[in-house]
């Protein structure tokens, strides 16, 4: 059961046409949305998932995770386990550099919380000794005075939390927050030494995002219980440090709170993750917008929200617009990531069907290694052979491994085929580009990007090449070299 009641836009004072306007603007701007949930007065007035993205899959949240980490620190402060004035040199004496600079000696939890620890830029720190590396990086500014976006600094907040409470961030929040508001378990990647990567490692469903943002909008209250004191959110959601020097785009230079961003419309605040993972709060109208997507122009997504909805909410319900609502409901139920337009070459489909191919070089990771998806490093899954079958409106790409057979089910009908692979939901759609080249587009519903996979056939072998759908060519993606398979 969902926590939120579903209603028409008009019943909460906004026109159905405004939601359609938002969708159309994003489409014209080429912005890739994966899902959204728009809420006012605790009621969902519009929600959608763009196939193969769906209600159940947990999407990579990137820096939206920072707002979870901030909230965990809030609980720790409330319980007296952390004080914002605690100094890092006192918390991590075992990780200090040989020489402690004057600025490092001053850095407090609050300084890190507002991304004002004193670094000029983010330290690129990895490995099990990353905390010492972070503390050894030059602190060139007086703590609390200079903003530098710092994901590893947010990881430091998780390290502080674990040092003070013995728990990782997501475990610490589970009993205090996630369980109580219906979010359930939240997975989060970890640093090399087993600390939650609170700077960007969580995964959430769209509704989990909405539940968290509703809690923040409520300033820590849920039902009749004040879980986290409202004073924490008074500070967290207000400007704590200036960011003007850090970015030329308005929504990133208007100031930063406790891991929340200030926005262009007065009073609007957001949790923000790369490529458009947004939790946008509009307190004046008791409304918020949660969005998942994959856009490098994510400022355009924000601008679409500002231009479409800010100032458009009425204080009373609007007359129901049945025609607009029918159109809106149809659109919301049938959204899909822009697919390939399928073309078929029947002679080639017959020629290459059921032929078996073996990798020239050893290849591990199963089907997901071929398509550039997730791989379980602990599992061998050596690939023995592959084959393609063209059956009806599908291409079945079978991958035989030492652990069994895995299948990629590719639609040939210009719409994504939805299927399960190793417990994750994927969608794939394919097209013949020539009589010897077959291409398919594939998305995992947990990832922000898809991959375009091209198979080139000749009489003795086939070659598979993969490229990311990210415009920048594969940010945060395991690069996959061209793979060659010989005909058996």
Residue 156 lies in a domain: yes
Query: Which is it for the CA torsion 34, 318, 44, 251, positive or negative?
Result: positive
Neighbouring C-beta atoms of residue 93, cutoff 10 Å: 9
CB 8 within 8 A of CB 45: yes
Helix (H/G/I), strand (E/B), else coil: 440 = strand
Same domain, 289 and 359: no
Same domain, 102 and 229: yes
pLDDT at site 101 = 97
pLDDT at site 372 = 79
Residue 337 lies in a domain: no
DSSP 121-182: S-----STTHHHHHHHS---S-TTS-----HHHHHHHHHHHHHHHSS-HHHHHIIIIIHHHT
Task: Tell me which residue has tokens 């290694």.
Answer: 369
Pairing of β 269-273 and β 261-262: antiparallel
State how far the Cα of 292 lies from the Cα of 208, in Å rounded to an integer.
12
pLDDT at site 476 = 46
Range of the domain at 124: 5-331
Cα distances from 186 to residues 174, 177, 309, in angstroms, run: 8, 11, 30
pLDDT at site 295 = 86
Last residue of a domain, one of 331, 356, 381: 331
pLDDT at site 379 = 66
State how far the Cα of 158 lies from the Cα of 153, in Å rounded to an integer.
9
Same domain, 314 and 378: no
Looking at 305-435, which runs of residues are DSSP E strands? 356-359, 383-391, 394-401, 404-411, 417-421, 424-434
Residue 176 lies in a domain: yes
Identify the bridge partners of residue 203 per DSSP, sorted by sequence position: 60
Residue of 207, 222, 282 lying closest to 71 (CA atoms): 222
Residue 336 lies in a domain: no
Question: Which DSSP state fits 25?
Answer: H
Same domain, 235 and 367: no
Q: How many domains does the chain have?
A: 2
Same domain, 281 and 361: no
Same domain, 320 and 171: yes
Last residue of a domain, one of 331, 363, 383: 331
Contacts 24+ apart (CB under 8 A), 85-88: 85/109, 85/110, 86/160, 88/112, 88/135, 88/156, 88/160
pLDDT at site 2 = 87
pLDDT at site 296 = 82
Same domain, 210 and 141: yes
Kindly report the CATH number assigned to the domain that includes residue 327: 3.40.710.10
Kindly report the CATH number assigned to the domain that includes residue 465: 2.40.128.20
pLDDT at site 40 = 98
pLDDT at site 112 = 98
pLDDT at site 130 = 97
What size, in residues, is the chain?
A: 488
Q: Within the chain, which residues score under 50 in pLDDT?
A: 378, 472-478
pLDDT at site 278 = 98
Instruction: Output the average pLDDT for the chain.
Output: 95
Helix (H/G/I), strand (E/B), else coil: 227 = coil
Same domain, 253 and 114: yes
Same domain, 355 and 305: no
């Amino acid at each position: 059961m969902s926590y939120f009641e579903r209603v028409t836009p008009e019943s909460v004072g906004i026109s159905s046409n405004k939601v359609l306007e938002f969708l159309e603007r994003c489409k014209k701007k080429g912005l890739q949305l994966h899902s959204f949930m728009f809420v006012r007065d605790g009621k969902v007035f519009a929600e959608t998932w763009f196939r193969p993205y769906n209600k159940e899959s947990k999407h990579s949240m990137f820096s939206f995770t920072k707002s979870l980490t901030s909230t965990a620190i809030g609980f720790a402060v409330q319980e007296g386990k952390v004080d914002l004035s605690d100094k890092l040199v006192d918390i991590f004496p075992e990780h200090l550099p040989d020489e402690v600079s004057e600025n490092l000696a001053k850095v407090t939890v609050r300084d890190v919380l507002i991304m004002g620890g004193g670094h000029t830029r983010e330290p690129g720190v990895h490995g099990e000794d990353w905390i010492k590396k972070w503390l050894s990086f030059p602190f060139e500014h007086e703590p609390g005075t200079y903003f530098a976006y710092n994901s590893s600094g947010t990881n430091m907040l998780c390290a502080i939390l674990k040092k003070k409470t013995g728990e990782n961030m997501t475990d610490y929040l589970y009993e205090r927050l996630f369980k109580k508001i219906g979010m359930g378990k939240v997975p989060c990647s970890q640093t090399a030494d087993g600390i939650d990567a609170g700077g960007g490692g969580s995964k959430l469903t769209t509704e989990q995002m909405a539940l968290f943002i509703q809690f923040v909008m409520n300033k820590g209250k849920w039902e009749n219980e004040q879980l986290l004191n409202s004073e924490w959110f008074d500070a967290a959601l207000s400007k704590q440090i200036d960011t003007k020097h850090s970015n030329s785009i308005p929504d990133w230079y208007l100031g930063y709170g406790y891991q929340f961003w200030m926005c262009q419309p007065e009073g609007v605040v957001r949790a923000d993750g790369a490529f458009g993972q947004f939790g946008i709060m509009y307190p004046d109208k008791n409304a918020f917008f949660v969005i998942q997507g994959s856009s490098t122009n994510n400022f355009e997504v924000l601008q679409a929200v500002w231009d479409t909805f800010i100032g458009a909410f009425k204080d009373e319900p609007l007359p129901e617009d049945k025609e607009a609502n029918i159109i809106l409901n149809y659109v919301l139920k049938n959204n899909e990531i822009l697919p390939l337009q399928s073309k078929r070459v029947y002679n080639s489909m017959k020629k290459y069907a059921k032929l078996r191919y073996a990798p020239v070089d050893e290849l591990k990771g199963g089907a997901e290694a071929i398509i550039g998806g997730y791989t379980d490093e602990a599992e061998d899954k050596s690939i023995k052979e592959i084959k393609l079958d063209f059956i009806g409106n599908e291409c079945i790409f079978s991958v035989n491994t030492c652990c069994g057979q895995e299948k990629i089910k590719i639609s040939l009908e210009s719409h994504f085929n939805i299927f399960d692979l190793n417990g994750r939901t994927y969608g794939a759609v394919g097209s013949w580009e020539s009589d010897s080249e077959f291409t398919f587009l594939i998305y995992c519903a947990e990832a922000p990007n898809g991959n375009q996979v091209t198979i080139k056939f000749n009489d003795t072998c086939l070659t598979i090449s993969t490229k990311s759908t990210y415009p920048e060519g594969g940010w945060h993606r395991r690069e996959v070299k061209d793979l060659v398979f010989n005909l058996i």
